[in-house]
Amino acid sequence: MSKPTIIVVGNGMVGYKFCEKLLARSTQFQIIVFGEEPRHAYDRVHLSEYFNGKTADDLSLSTLSWYSDNGIALHLDDPIQEINRTEKTIHSLKGITLKYDYLVLATGSSAFVPDIPGIEKEGVFVYRTIEDLELIKGCAVNAKSGAVMGGGLLGLEAAKALIDLGISETHVIEFAPRLMPRQIDSAGSNMLQMKLSQLGLHIHLNKSTAAITGDKKIQSLKFNDDSQLAIDMLVISAGIRPRDELAKLAGLHVGTRGGIVVNEKMQTSDECIYAIGECALYEGMIYGLVAPGYEMADIVAAHLTEADKSFYGYDMSTKLKLIGVDVASFGDAFITEPDCRTILFEDTHKGIYKRINITNDGKNLLGGILIGDADAYNMLLQTVNNKIVLPPDPEDLILGSRGREANAGAGVMSLPDDALICSCEAVTKGAICSAVNDGGVTGIDGMKKCTKAGTGCGGCVPLVKDLIAGTMKANGQYIKNVICEHFDYSRQELFDLVKINGLKNYDLVLDHYGKGDGCEVCKPVVASILSSLWNDVIVKQEVIQDSNDRFLANIQKGGTYSVVPRIPGGEITPDKLIVIGQVAKRYGLYTKITGGQRIDMFGAHLSDLPLIWEELIDAGFESGHAYGKALRTVKSCVGSTWCRFGLHDSVTFAIEVEDRYKGIRAPHKIKGGVSGCVRECAEAQSKDFGIIATEKGWNLYVCGNGGSKPQHAQLLATDIDKETVVKYLDRFLMFYIKTADQLTRTATWLNKLDGGMSYLKNVIVNDSLGLGEQLEEEMQALVNTYHCEWKEAINNPSMRKRFAHFINAPDEKDPHAQFEPMREQVRAKEW
């Protein structure tokens, strides 16, 4: 007896997943797949990574041989043209006619292209396939400016692609009054817009495009309000349309606005034909995420093998990173009072917006929105889905994190076993814990192979890691702290390996101890390690950190940069004050005295940075490292020099300490303070290290910090002389640099340190590990190799080339950086 034949129309992610799901349930079918594209199934979710070095093979969901190895007949570049439901046959473009017992339509969607005059011109693209990306990449070589039509998820992904291609003037055109109108509310959208604008993206809302102008090639967009925007290329990302044309020709029932109508078993109006993914319309809804498509695929596989599984809608919660900005929405994000109670947190300084909606009785979480900081997304989503009772102070879910840091993994371990952790692959908490307990899985790579958790969109990976760690901890197993999937080492382990082997650039470190091409997690970690060891990586090798280090300045609102020269201890001569004033006037910079006792100058154009720093360095200034994870400032009061209460000269000591540790890179930024008496005018106890004068000498405090999670420093040593203070500081800072995880402040590091302050005091003061002399020597080596990064940058011709807004017009400035008056100075104009 011959096997029943299943023909799959479409070889995208969902079509491929159906084959995978069916094979896992049964091998009693003959599977034939027809794909419209010339290549086998690949990952469209991470399509933009094609511009970051990923190849088509990297994005492939399997090897080409996978199909033949599993008995699947694959026909590529051959779309189905006709379905004959009476005879149960299909006919392809290349003339193939085959009979089917069951037909699975996984035709997906196409980009919606609005009917605008000029839409056919050269330089206009859609953003759906690898072939589309290759065309965009080719055009971008000669383009200075580009625009994306559409401010939704795909539109912002396309905008990131243009930025990755080096198009510094990138615009987003959105018809609606806000970005991502289907995922986030107005306040969240405003915060997202602010963050994206600060990164140099130009946002145009409430814009309706009337025409695309130009001869054969696009030259500008003309809007209905008679305004125009000159651009060299345009990417259309204004939504999707279900690919239902084949179903219509076959007489299947389709929705009035598109989509193949299906029931809870994903059957169409013909019970032998199924539809899954973005072409399927279930109860009036098209599901545009990959996870519900995978669920649909599994339901059809279940139905064909006589298992009981149905589709009743799907949670459309999502988390992603858009151009470096976290964006997430979950549960019922748009419900409003009086149907719920809403808790909001908004920090415009850091660009963070959080909103959670809870029931009126305060017992359950209904949904929410996160912008700028979505670390809590996975647990918040689980709290909604599993109806977990909220704590007495539900605001702690978005405000309090110190408890979560101290007890990482405890929350996820309390979830029920049937809690869905990976929605893309329908993997539960129980399955993940079982893989650890019974399968011996100890890391995320092993979990991906064992359960496929984390292989879809990747949003569940932090939660999966917490579950692995929590399960191992419950079993009394050792938990290995690794940097990421590319390095099977902790930061401390990699630090020692790099030092022992004298590795001095990222490629060598990756070749020796890593795998793959690296990622946005491990590159900054390695950069920090190299900087802390050899003191020259940031300016002397290809940049592997963010834009702040790339341009040795903090990018600010409006796309301009800040200039912050070092002013040790806050002491500055009148001549140097005059120089700062002259530079600020010459380049039209806004000036402000900071909380760290130095002077910020804001609004510098990228191409002006080397010119500004030439003048400052000629006047005796040095880089203030305000852009780096390094020593920022050592704040001081006036001390015994002028103050009648001062016990010791705090200014001189602060200058000596700042000059000693300037330029030294660390896992996070470091701040210090020196106070001349217990009145503490330098606020030394809120710093990473604080020195306070006593009648007998100095008290040394460590591991404090201000910011969003203030914590007082703790006393390390009392009544010690200056030489001992420096010795202990050398040991403390070097021990922190060598052992802390990346982006961990000294206060958090101490909180996680086994033994806490007692252990740290033993290591630093009592030298319990016998490392005291070594730590001092390592610190002295860094002190001896100090260099001003800006001095090297302006004297290095290849480095200076970086400081150009337009590569092919290095003297031109960003025409979209605009300013407006404010209190006799200027500020960045609101976009």
Q: Are residues 292 and 364 in the same domain?
A: no
Q: Are residues 498 and 349 in the same domain?
A: no
Q: Give the CA distances from residue 160 to residues 16, 45, 124, 199, 344, in Å, rounded to whole numbers and listed in that order.
A: 27, 14, 17, 11, 28
Please give the residue range of the domain that contains residue 248: 5-109+242-304
DSSP 614-631: HHHHHTT--B--TTSSBE
**Residue 805 in domain:** no
What pLDDT score was predicted for residue 37? 93
831 confidence band (pLDDT: 50, 70, 90): low
Q: Are residues 211 and 280 in the same domain?
A: no
Q: For 179-187, what is the mean pLDDT?
A: 90
405 confidence band (pLDDT: 50, 70, 90): very low
Among 23-27, 76-80, 253-257, 546-550, the least confident range? 546-550
Q: Are 323 and 159 in contact (CB under 8 A)?
A: yes
Residue 235 has pLDDT above 50, yes or no: yes
* Tens-digit pLDDT profile for residues 638-658: 999 999 899 999 999 999 999
**Residue 29 in domain:** yes
Q: Are residues 446 and 504 in the same domain?
A: no
The overall average pLDDT reported for the chain is: 90
* Tens-digit pLDDT profile for residues 540-594: 556 565 667 777 888 887 778 899 999 999 999 999 999 999 999 999 999 999 8
Residue 257 has pLDDT above 60, yes or no: yes
Q: Is the pTM value of this prediction over 0.85? A: no
**Residue 441 in domain:** yes
Q: For 213-239, what is the mean pLDDT?
A: 94
Angle at 741 between CA 667 and CA 423, to 5 degrees: 125
What pLDDT score was predicted for residue 434? 94
Q: Are residues 643 and 772 in the same domain?
A: yes
Q: Are residues 342 and 364 in the same domain?
A: yes
For the chain, what percent of residues have pLDDT higher than 90? 62
Q: For 692-715, what is the mean pLDDT?
A: 89
Q: Are residues 638 and 766 in the same domain?
A: yes
Q: Which two tokens stand for residue 633?
A: 């400032």
406 confidence band (pLDDT: 50, 70, 90): very low
For the chain, what percent of residues have pLDDT higher than 70? 96
What pLDDT score was predicted for residue 811? 74
Among 144-148, 243-247, 388-392, the least confident range? 388-392
Q: Which two tokens stand for residue 462?
A: 């932090």
Q: Are residues 388 and 463 in the same domain?
A: no
Q: Are residues 328 and 459 in the same domain?
A: no
Q: Are residues 345 and 456 in the same domain?
A: no
- Of 236, 256, 285, which residue sits at a domain end? 236
Q: For the chain, how many structural domains are there in total? A: 6
Q: Are residues 777 and 729 in the same domain?
A: yes
Q: For 144-170, what is the mean pLDDT?
A: 89
What pLDDT score was predicted for residue 708? 64
Cα–Cα distance, 112 to 126 (Å, whole number): 9
What pLDDT score was predicted for residue 546? 60
Which CATH number belongs to the domain containing residue 795 in this structure? 3.30.413.10
Which CATH number belongs to the domain containing residue 14 in this structure? 3.50.50.60
Q: For 662-668, what is the mean pLDDT?
A: 92
Residue 404 has pLDDT above 70, yes or no: no
Which CATH number belongs to the domain containing residue 321 in this structure? 3.30.390.30
* Tens-digit pLDDT profile for residues 292-323: 999 999 999 999 999 999 999 888 888 877 77
Q: Are strands 318-322 and 285-286 parallel, antiparallel or unpaired?
A: unpaired
Q: For 201-221, what is the mean pLDDT?
A: 94
Q: Which two tokens stand for residue 425?
A: 């692959």
Cα–Cα distance, 653 to 649 (Å, whole number): 7
Residue 537 has pLDDT above 80, yes or no: no
Count CB-CB contacts under 10 A for residue 230: 14
Q: Are residues 665 and 728 in the same domain?
A: yes
- Of 367, 401, 435, which residue sits at a domain end? 401
Residue 135 has pLDDT above 60, yes or no: yes
| Residues constituting the chain | 831
Q: Burial-class residue 273 by CB neighbours within 10 Å (0-12, 13-18, 19+).
A: buried
**Residue 659 in domain:** yes
Q: For 131-160, what is the mean pLDDT?
A: 91
**Residue 808 in domain:** no
- Of 480, 504, 524, which residue sits at a domain end? 480
- Which residue type, as a one-letter code, is found at position 83? I
Cα–Cα distance, 582 to 425 (Å, whole number): 61
Which CATH number belongs to the domain containing residue 424 in this structure? 1.10.10.1100
Q: For 89-109, what is the mean pLDDT?
A: 97
Cα–Cα distance, 5 to 30 (Å, whole number): 5
Q: Any idea which residue has 């008056």 for tokens? A: 821
Q: Give the annotated binding-site residues.
A: 637, 643, 677, 681
Q: Give the annotated binding-site residues for siroheme.
A: 681
* Tens-digit pLDDT profile for residues 717-744: 999 999 999 999 999 999 999 999 888 8
**Residue 588 in domain:** no
| Contacting residues for 524 by C-beta, under 8 A, at least 6 apart | 544, 545, 546, 742
**Residue 429 in domain:** yes
Q: Give the annotated binding-site residues for [4Fe-4S] cluster.
A: 637, 643, 677, 681
Cα–Cα distance, 685 to 679 (Å, whole number): 11
What pLDDT score was predicted for residue 410? 47
What pLDDT score was predicted for residue 400? 55
**Residue 570 in domain:** no
